Structure 1
């Protein structure tokens, strides 16, 4: 007689629905706002969070005014959610391997000054060869990219001199010096290169907005030299800074890569600056420390390498970047 033993594995830990509504409350700051975002009644949110608290045996939310704030236990649950999400991604990775990159998704945050080069040399080729992979690109600053990668919102960040973080690691990088960018007829364009920051401080300038990696880099450079740049124009994207320089209104600070078309058309010049901080800045491709990339991510890195994206820093600006 053959005996067969059937083992029923009960699901361990909170349900996906409980965690989904719990994360929605943390993200929006209140039960009502979470209900509006999820298109359900507030009572549904409250019941699922209450069930989660009962299952875990700890309070997760504390009322404050009209909203809620997380307890210390809630922060542990949040870490668990991120780890669980990473585990789900690992499962999708293995399934995608079986599918041969016929389906999947890839999320990337790219610095504004790197978007054109990334699209033209890498991403369009990826989309052409793998139309089944859903690619989502967001444009954000260096700090945004680090945060998005560290929190598993994005698989990759392509950023200009991102701030150091133990939560991410750099998988590829290249030199991308910051230049003084101006119209060819601007007075500073006639000065001998490399230009000094004190000399540039006497001219009207446009700077990237506070909170961007570029602004932080320029601020670090000026602080090191004990000078102050007082911008008359500030923008959080590259296009307005280029327009400022094209109009001959003053000097801005960008990489040659960010203004490659204008350099090629002789509409702008990009002059080296005698500052080691600006001269040694880098463009970096970052991923979360410890995260296993999906096959689509590995393929994207391969395309970066095939295109020489990190081996040819002068691409697109060679011959127009004054040395």
Structure 2
């Protein structure tokens, strides 16, 4: 279901498609339900497949939690934590949170997936991530917001840019003739830029689009474009004198919020709770 096809699923598992197809048919016989509708165009998952997938994800999450709890009883401080993080917060997360966390939890494994805020919500809701860090994420019934903080979005320019030394907030119409770099559609920063432009009737058309915050920074450092980011995303770049941030005169950008999210009703391991405490301390 995740891969979208038998062939895609087989490739991920390192199996032949025919082998995986037979295994699915065996599972269907054992459960007494049809999991996929087969046609010349491929396979379509049934409602039963969605129920089974939800059960499988919950079972895997519970197994991971049990393993972590048993290992914690031995004081080995082992375990696995799955993070889904908006890329704009990867630097403070690594430089401050994970650096300090690792000193006390060297044997805890951490998987770090850089995603859009929408994808972070989906992963937490589906229990494929234990903790999410997102920018203005959409609300979801299965997701609980553990912490939130206002993080205004700034204009990011190179140090010699004409607006770099601006002492007042910059209106959007001042940027209409600037080459602009934005995140790809689906990312929170892109959605905010579209909403901000709509509110002020300013057409913010990007010259460059990317799914990488690192690429946005490179475009600005090489004086090819200006962009929008939070202070946290460019803190180290500003400290080194490579980039400058300028406040924006826009209610949408000034209402940006970062949220720490988890799955509603889920019991987190002790290590996960400790990591969230570090995130609270350094990011919120």
Same topology, TM > 0.5: yes
- Following superposition of structure 1 onto structure 2, how do residues 1-323 of structure 1 map, counting pairs within 5 Å? 26-40=1-15, 42=17, 44-65=19-40, 67-100=42-75, 102-189=77-164, 191-305=166-280, 307-310=281-284
Quick check: 2:154–2:231 contact (8 Å CA) kept in 1?
yes
- CA deviations on 1:107-158 (whole Å, 9 max, x unpaired) are 1122222111111111122122212111111212211211221111111111
- TM-score when normalising by structure 2: 0.90
Shift of 1:70: 0.9
- TM-score when normalising by structure 1: 0.80
RMSD: 2.2
Quick check: 2:86–2:114 contact (8 Å CA) kept in 1?
yes
Quick check: 1:110–1:145 contact (8 Å CA) kept in 2?
yes
Query: Larger Cα Rg: Structure 1 or Structure 2?
Result: 1
- Give the gaps of 5 or more residues in structure 2: none
Quick check: 2:86–2:133 contact (8 Å CA) kept in 1?
yes
- Give the gaps of 5 or more residues in structure 1: 1-25, 311-323
Shift of 1:64: 2.6
Shift of 1:191: 4.7
Q: C-alpha separation between the residues in 2 aligned to 1:208 and 1:270?
A: 17
Q: C-alpha separation between the residues in 2 aligned to 1:269 and 1:46?
A: 55
Between 1:291-300 and 1:181-190, the stretch displaced more is 181-190
Across the two proteins, how many residue pairs are aligned to each other?
A: 284
Q: C-alpha separation between the residues in 1 aligned to 2:24 and 2:191?
A: 40
Higher RCO (CA-CA < 8 Å; seq separation 6+): 2
Shift of 1:51: 3.2
Look up the match of 1:10. none
Distance 1:184 1:47, change over 3 A: closer
Q: C-alpha separation between the residues in 2 aligned to 1:262 and 1:75?
A: 44
Q: C-alpha separation between the residues in 2 aligned to 1:41 and 1:237?
A: 34
